[in-house]
Amino acid sequence: MLLQQAPDYPIETFVLEAIADAPAAHLCHQFVKGDINDYETVLQFGRSVDVLTIEIEHVNVEALFQLEKEGIRIFPKPAVLQTIKDKGLQKQFYEKHNIPSPAFVLTESERDVLNHLNFLPAAHKLRTGGYDGKGVQLILNESAASLAFSEPGVLEKLVVIEKEIAVIVARNETGETAIYPPTEMVFDPDLNLVDYLLSPAELNDKQTSQAQQLALQVCNAFNSPGIFAVEMFLDDEGKLWVNETAPRAHNSGHHSIEGNYCSQYDMQLRVLQNLPLGNTNSIQPSLMLNVLGEPGHSGKVKYVGLDAIMDLSNVYIHLYGKTTTKPGRKMGHVTILGSSTRELMTKAEVVRNSLKVESE
């Protein structure tokens, strides 16, 4: 999606990706097939460009530190990536900067979990390598604690979640910041993936303002140009807790392509060029649905029901160009604009019932 918007600006795009037929491969000026976790590969690639950004945190940070020394502009800064890639360091970072985040303890093994039964019920997260709900255990009681993974982790006291929200903040090299309206994420408990997302979130003015201030505080603490999606919990007492931050364009900002005057991708391109930031205001309330592979379907992808959803007014599909599907795989998203939550929900129901990702 970044590459779809990039041609608007006077820039050339270079992409490093492990898969030769990656969806990005045909949308850039130069595609380099290579492993983003390999030091030499990232180093050589980085030396060929003026400014680097990422779409996933799991990249070789040592190479980025070296490139930064050599004068390559990197957003977010490698130090931010290093902190965020490790949920332990990330939690310590919030603690150090007085950013409210659920109480935690670092664990090395299941024994450490058993030593902190006072933290239960808790979430136990792998310090590194987790993604989209993978690498997270819910540990509600002592008997579950004995099943905890034994890799380094973070044991986090559960917050009673009223709402799960995200606020995207952009910052350029000049230090200018732009804050999007909060978005509300509703999760599918089975897949532990965002089921749908409402933007703006249904919060009162004070909550909205507090969420935006908190996101800005996180962004300023990281002290780096970039796009930051700050994920938060609103608890049953109205208090906000930072869950985690993604230092990049994020699923919780996909609706901004049609729903806001400046999309998160346009914003990211402005950051990369150190241009003034855009207008984050909503055009209309929006609802975003992930398009996931149907259960029972694996292989070459086929989309069913596109006609029915395009027949709805102000419904937009964004497929990610993946050639094969499997159950639950994120294959794209649909953004819906509407004047009320009720209208959004009605259209979402049609989308959910009509659009199916099957295999041929």
User: For binding to its own copies (CB under 8 A), which residues are involved?
Assistant: 4-5, 7-10, 13, 23, 26-29, 258, 261, 266, 270, 273, 275-276, 278-279, 283, 301, 303, 306-307, 310-311, 313-314, 316-319, 321, 332, 337
From the CB of 302, what's the least distance to its own copies, in Å? Answer: 8
From the CB of 270, what's the least distance to its own copies, in Å? Answer: 6
| Site of tokens 């300023």 | 220
Distance from C-alpha of 204 to C-alpha of 225, rounded to nearest angstrom: 29
Q: DSSP of 31-99, one letter per residue? A: EEE--TT-HHHHHHHHHT-SEE--SSS-S-HHHHHHHHHTT-EESS-HHHHHHHHSHHHHHHHHHHTT-
Distance from C-alpha of 232 to C-alpha of 177, rounded to nearest angstrom: 19
| H, E, C per residue of 233-244 | EEECCCCEEEEE
- Kindly tell me which of 125 and 333 has the beta carbon lying closer to its own copies: 333
- Kindly tell me which of 135 and 321 has the beta carbon lying closer to its own copies: 321
From the CB of 279, what's the least distance to its own copies, in Å? Answer: 5
From the CB of 308, what's the least distance to its own copies, in Å? Answer: 9
- Kindly tell me which of 9 and 131 has the beta carbon lying closer to its own copies: 9
Question: Strands 51-52 and 73-74, how do they pair?
Answer: parallel
From the CB of 9, what's the least distance to its own copies, in Å? Answer: 6
- Kindly tell me which of 301 and 348 has the beta carbon lying closer to its own copies: 301
- Kindly tell me which of 157 and 326 has the beta carbon lying closer to its own copies: 326
From the CB of 291, what's the least distance to its own copies, in Å? Answer: 11
At CB < 8 A and 24+ separation, what contacts does 58-61 make?
58/85, 58/129, 58/131, 60/36, 61/85
- Kindly tell me which of 79 and 317 has the beta carbon lying closer to its own copies: 317
From the CB of 214, what's the least distance to its own copies, in Å? Answer: 25
- Kindly tell me which of 128 and 273 has the beta carbon lying closer to its own copies: 273
Residue 185 host element (H or E):
strand 183-188
Distances (CA, A) of 232 to 99, 240, 272, 334: 11, 6, 26, 23
